[in-house]
A and B are shown apart, each in its own frame.
Chain A
């Protein structure tokens, strides 16, 4: 059974004359440990797809199942629990809680799940170490650089041991070097730690770190490509492909 099984997903905003179809009968299948990049021009529906898969939004048509669990059928509280335990989110603007320190931010999903604070903190520190922030656990977000904040966000996404990480433009707000570091980290998440990663990006260089790229245009899947393990080598061909498809 696939980890993500999305069938015939459509999302329409507005009604009547003002209706905009953001997603038009899209299907997506992701297996455990897959690293999938979703690419496409602005407004192609890539973020919408991610929201629907993550249970942040509900589709107008179609179904999403995570681990065979149909999201449409879940009430809000169950959906919240599913997000807490099975899915990790990484956002473009990191979205750390400004009043909590790095270890607390990283351990937030555990705290939300009722894990004791001391234990949660210990695991938070452990994960900060794994993402390369061993000595930053008591820093507040405002004391960290953008790249460091995003690492905290990665630790936060991983800490509850989810099978699926959803990343929405995770490098969109970072300089080139930090962006590469985060992309490599996500590569490690999928390869070494065996979590499925679905990442939305418009940067071919970042998408090149994935195993597979799904190209969207005008709410439809227009292409799918498998990549080799050599990110640097992939980058140029991904760029060409993206440019060709967006014409």
Chain B
């Protein structure tokens, strides 16, 4: 083995604890980046394979790009196409069932949460597929309320042939007689309830419409089949697709978002890791100056010296990356293990082991190793400049980075000034650049700030440690080597900046969302479907429920929301999420502007609220939510082509506004009249109502409850209670952040401990001298403690400043992505960061101060 590697290995082994702590800095970053980037794609792959499995055994499946229904005439078009042997039309949709629908027992988890209702022509269907029935019979054309289901559905629920199956529908509860039971379902996806096409059209109130047409070819050979596909697409037009509709698109988007967020967090952890590594290597070089000088005197050239340090970086980077990848894999595995029973039960989706792709391995390795080597490079190069003379000095010195003080401080000052200009500009790109400038600027400026800040805080210390002189001594120690103090403080700064920034973001998000929630869900009563935000599988109510509610004595206003899946023929400008080949998948919500304005709330960021509501419904107009507006670059007055069942139709943007429920999903709001005309949707899936002034709340509530009884798919809840329920969910979700705090705070503590301990080691002889001239052990301890607190306070000040800047950037970036939030000053985060910083400072002093106080005076004086 070459001498560089031998030395690197030996030095690492000689300083096991420090090597471990430095390596951990890499591990944390890699865990997050690797773990999240295999977890999320694995889940997405599982969703996609579900979609593929659902469309097996047919050659062709025609559907509307939006996923909504289309005219039954399409079936005839397909049938008449040359080369098609057989085709069938299907009208289907997923059905969310209310909680405890079958077992009526809140104590046990539900076996079935979502069904697919499929209406088909029994004869066409059997011409296409076998539909083997195990018990009973298949459907026949003259069946009425009859259904065929699978054994994997009936057995867990204890249903038998001839039993009634009750389903909540838009027209109230429908009962279907089970006439046939098929073999247990083998492929992933929802349990299917098969009914005749006319029955499905009644239940779903969609006369003369279909959601998909399946067909088999009469010809073989991929070329001929491609030719038929091409001809068919020409006949059907751009709003149709021959692939299975990509349901689960919303889920994929949410997953994608979380992946980006976690990657960003991983990058932050990496950045801090880089700083810790830099700091450690710098300390290592300082400590080993004599060893290095000796090596040089013995004839080692610069390359050997630099190579030894880089070899150490390589070994630590490799170990950290490998460990991070293993732990990240386990994290992903545990994450999947935690959610897969639930997914398996609800949607028969089986998520396999995490999938590791070569590119994510490559990214993790490049980042993990690259960050370590890059951070170690400067200290390594400076080690190469150590002269052989170093070995002959009486004691190691670290008057080393000092000469950067003058020029660095000026550069730092310029950077901070530029970053403040960026702050004033409000431009997001400038802000991101400004954040980096600000932090780097502070780091460069830090050595120059040591003295003034030490004096400022020293005054405080003098009060605390009065009459001991230890405060002054600590202050002197800190200002004697400004660069060393500055590096320690900078490490603290980065850790605290991240804590303050996260705190600031949480404060802003919580504050803004709470406000929006209170206003948009502030109605007296709310009818909530089983799945909020994943609207397409919810079964709504026909307009008669809302009408009945309106007639109740004491009810003032009723506002309803309707839903259609849609595709906007737009090119996303920044999102890289999975999108259909042409256009972006969006949620389309239908509202009645007059009722909506009074009962619910949209937070407008563009366009006036009054004008937008007035314009909605006059022609084809829409209100886009900020997520959509920002990802497609939409402004008021822009035209948005929507792929509707009626073809490609141009809508005009009359406002950009957010509500709380769809804040994370690209959404447009249309008038209910437009939704009915262009999308053939008229189910209410979300209902809000207000009571009249002076109404008897008890009587009204009873009447509302009575009206809701026929629509068990809704949960009726008081607006205030719903608001509180959502708020507590929200707070739970954010408690994850405390784990992230720990992830970032721990390595920061380690590096502070590290730096401080080394500071004491370096001054061993000096401490011996102090003891020799009569300092008590207590005085030595207090001096070290005072110095640690000074350093921590210094780091806290820098950390708060840059944390606030970073928080502002994060909030602005989220707002630009379309989240309806504004910046709120994070008092909580600031207090937490200050407390954590000072506590860590005191903690870091414990071991070194004990060590210093316990030094044998004679030994300490002899210490090299």
Q: Does A40 contact B (CB under 8 A)?
A: no
Q: Does A77 contact B (CB under 8 A)?
A: yes
B391/A80 in contact, CB under 8 A:
no
A117-152 vs B, CB cutoff 8 Å, 1 = contact: the mask equals 100000000000000000000000000000000000
B291 (CB) vs chain A CBs: closest residue: A97
B245-280 vs A, CB cutoff 8 Å, 1 = contact: the mask equals 000000000000000000000000000000000000
A82/B299 in contact, CB under 8 A:
yes
Q: Choose one: B10, B291, B298; the contact of A84 (CB below 8 Å).
A: B298
Q: Does B3 contact A (CB under 8 A)?
A: yes
B299/A109 in contact, CB under 8 A:
yes
A47 to B297 Cα, complex, angstroms: 14
- Chain B residues 298-344 with CB under 8 Å of chain A are 298-302, 304
A89/B297 in contact, CB under 8 A:
yes
Q: Contact residue range for chain A? A: 20 to 34
- The interface residues of chain B lying within 8 Å CB-to-CB of A19 are none
A47 to B389 Cα, complex, angstroms: 11
B6/A104 in contact, CB under 8 A:
yes
- The interface residues of chain A lying within 8 Å CB-to-CB of B7 are 97, 99-100
- The interface residues of chain B lying within 8 Å CB-to-CB of A51 are 389, 392
- The interface residues of chain A lying within 8 Å CB-to-CB of B300 are 80, 84, 112
Closest beta carbon of chain B to A150's beta carbon, Å: 14
- Given A91-B392, A99-B10, A99-B11, are A80 and B864 also a contact pair (CB < 8 Å)? no
A100 (CB) vs chain B CBs: closest residue: B10
Q: Does A168 contact B (CB under 8 A)?
A: yes
Closest beta carbon of chain A to B381's beta carbon, Å: 14
A32 to B7 Cα, complex, angstroms: 34
Q: Does A212 contact B (CB under 8 A)?
A: no
A226 to B2 Cα, complex, angstroms: 45
Q: Does B348 contact A (CB under 8 A)?
A: no
A56/B387 in contact, CB under 8 A:
yes
Q: Does B709 contact A (CB under 8 A)?
A: no
Q: Does A239 contact B (CB under 8 A)?
A: no
A87 to B298 Cα, complex, angstroms: 8
- The interface residues of chain B lying within 8 Å CB-to-CB of A217 are none
- The interface residues of chain B lying within 8 Å CB-to-CB of A109 are 298-299
Q: Does B436 contact A (CB under 8 A)?
A: no
A109 (CB) vs chain B CBs: closest residue: B298
A117/B6 in contact, CB under 8 A:
yes
Q: Does A156 contact B (CB under 8 A)?
A: yes
Closest beta carbon of chain B to A233's beta carbon, Å: 32
- Chain A residues 81-126 with CB under 8 Å of chain B are 81-85, 87, 89, 91, 93, 95, 97-100, 104, 108-109, 111-114, 117
- Given A97-B291, A99-B14, A117-B1, are A80 and B296 also a contact pair (CB < 8 Å)? yes
Closest beta carbon of chain A to B4's beta carbon, Å: 10
- Given A97-B291, A98-B14, A111-B6, are A47 and B301 also a contact pair (CB < 8 Å)? no
- The interface residues of chain B lying within 8 Å CB-to-CB of A175 are none
- The interface residues of chain B lying within 8 Å CB-to-CB of A168 are 392
Closest beta carbon of chain B to A181's beta carbon, Å: 21
Q: Which of A83, A97, A113 has the most CB of B within 10 A?
A: A97
Closest beta carbon of chain B to A97's beta carbon, Å: 6
A112/B14 in contact, CB under 8 A:
no
A95/B290 in contact, CB under 8 A:
yes
Q: Choose one: B1, B10, B294, B301; the contact of A95 (CB below 8 Å).
A: B294
B391/A95 in contact, CB under 8 A:
yes
A112/B3 in contact, CB under 8 A:
yes
Q: Does A170 contact B (CB under 8 A)?
A: no
- The interface residues of chain A lying within 8 Å CB-to-CB of B301 are 76-77, 80-81
B297/A99 in contact, CB under 8 A:
no
B389/A80 in contact, CB under 8 A:
no
B391 (CB) vs chain A CBs: closest residue: A95
B11 (CB) vs chain A CBs: closest residue: A99
Q: Choose one: A56, A98, A100, A104; the contact of B297 (CB below 8 Å).
A: A56
Q: Does B35 contact A (CB under 8 A)?
A: no
Closest beta carbon of chain A to B834's beta carbon, Å: 40
- The interface residues of chain B lying within 8 Å CB-to-CB of A156 are 298
- The interface residues of chain B lying within 8 Å CB-to-CB of A97 are 7, 10, 291, 294-295
- The interface residues of chain B lying within 8 Å CB-to-CB of A89 are 294, 297-298
- The interface residues of chain A lying within 8 Å CB-to-CB of B2 are 114
A111/B3 in contact, CB under 8 A:
yes
Q: Which of B3, B10, B13, B864 has the most CB of A within 10 A?
A: B3
Q: Does A219 contact B (CB under 8 A)?
A: no
Q: Choose one: A84, A93, A100, A117; the contact of B864 (CB below 8 Å).
A: A93
Q: Does A70 contact B (CB under 8 A)?
A: no
- Given A51-B392, A56-B392, are A81 and B294 also a contact pair (CB < 8 Å)? no
A157 to B297 Cα, complex, angstroms: 11
Q: Choose one: A80, A85, A99; the contact of B13 (CB below 8 Å).
A: A99
A56 to B2 Cα, complex, angstroms: 25
- The interface residues of chain A lying within 8 Å CB-to-CB of B590 are none
Closest beta carbon of chain B to A93's beta carbon, Å: 6
B1-45 vs A, CB cutoff 8 Å, 1 = contact: the mask equals 111001100110110000000000000000000000000000000
Q: Does B379 contact A (CB under 8 A)?
A: no
B300 (CB) vs chain A CBs: closest residue: A112
Q: Does A54 contact B (CB under 8 A)?
A: yes
- The interface residues of chain B lying within 8 Å CB-to-CB of A243 are none
- The interface residues of chain B lying within 8 Å CB-to-CB of A57 are 387-389
A46 to B500 Cα, complex, angstroms: 58
- The interface residues of chain A lying within 8 Å CB-to-CB of B299 are 80-85, 87, 109, 112-113, 160
Closest beta carbon of chain B to A105's beta carbon, Å: 10
- The interface residues of chain B lying within 8 Å CB-to-CB of A104 are 6
Closest beta carbon of chain A to B171's beta carbon, Å: 81
Closest beta carbon of chain B to A112's beta carbon, Å: 5
Q: Choose one: B10, B290, B297, B392; the contact of A83 (CB below 8 Å).
A: B297
A113 to B297 Cα, complex, angstroms: 13
- Chain B residues 369-388 with CB under 8 Å of chain A are 387-388
- The interface residues of chain A lying within 8 Å CB-to-CB of B389 are 51, 56-57
- The interface residues of chain B lying within 8 Å CB-to-CB of A160 are 299
Closest beta carbon of chain A to B287's beta carbon, Å: 11
- The interface residues of chain A lying within 8 Å CB-to-CB of B294 are 89, 91, 95, 97
A87 to B389 Cα, complex, angstroms: 15
B13/A83 in contact, CB under 8 A:
no
- The interface residues of chain A lying within 8 Å CB-to-CB of B291 are 95, 97-98
- Chain B residues 813-827 with CB under 8 Å of chain A are none
- The interface residues of chain B lying within 8 Å CB-to-CB of A85 are 299
A109 to B301 Cα, complex, angstroms: 11
A98 to B287 Cα, complex, angstroms: 12
Q: Choose one: A56, A76, A84, A114; the contact of B302 (CB below 8 Å).
A: A76
Closest beta carbon of chain B to A157's beta carbon, Å: 9
- Given A56-B387, A95-B291, A100-B10, are A108 and B392 also a contact pair (CB < 8 Å)? no
A153 (CB) vs chain B CBs: closest residue: B294
A115 (CB) vs chain B CBs: closest residue: B3
Closest beta carbon of chain A to B17's beta carbon, Å: 14
Closest beta carbon of chain A to B150's beta carbon, Å: 68
Closest beta carbon of chain B to A230's beta carbon, Å: 32
Q: Which of B2, B6, B13 has the most CB of A within 10 A?
A: B6
Closest beta carbon of chain B to A172's beta carbon, Å: 11
B295/A112 in contact, CB under 8 A:
yes
A-B contact sample (7 more), CB < 8 A, given A57-B388, A97-B295, A99-B14: A56-B387, A57-B387, A80-B300, A89-B294, A93-B290, A114-B2, A156-B298
- Cβ-closest 3 pairs across A and B: A84-B299, A83-B299, A99-B10
Question: Can you pick out 21 interface pairs between chain A and chain B where the beta carbons lie within 8 Å of each other?
Answer: A56-B388, A76-B302, A77-B301, A80-B301, A83-B297, A83-B299, A83-B388, A84-B298, A84-B300, A93-B864, A95-B291, A97-B7, A97-B291, A98-B14, A99-B10, A100-B10, A104-B6, A112-B3, A112-B295, A112-B304, A113-B299
**Which B positions have Cβ atoms within 8 angstroms of A?**
1-3, 6-7, 10-11, 13-14, 290-291, 293-302, 304, 387-389, 391-392, 864
**Which A positions have Cβ atoms within 8 angstroms of B?**
47, 51, 54, 56-57, 76-77, 80-85, 87, 89, 91, 93, 95, 97-100, 104, 108-109, 111-114, 117, 156, 160, 168
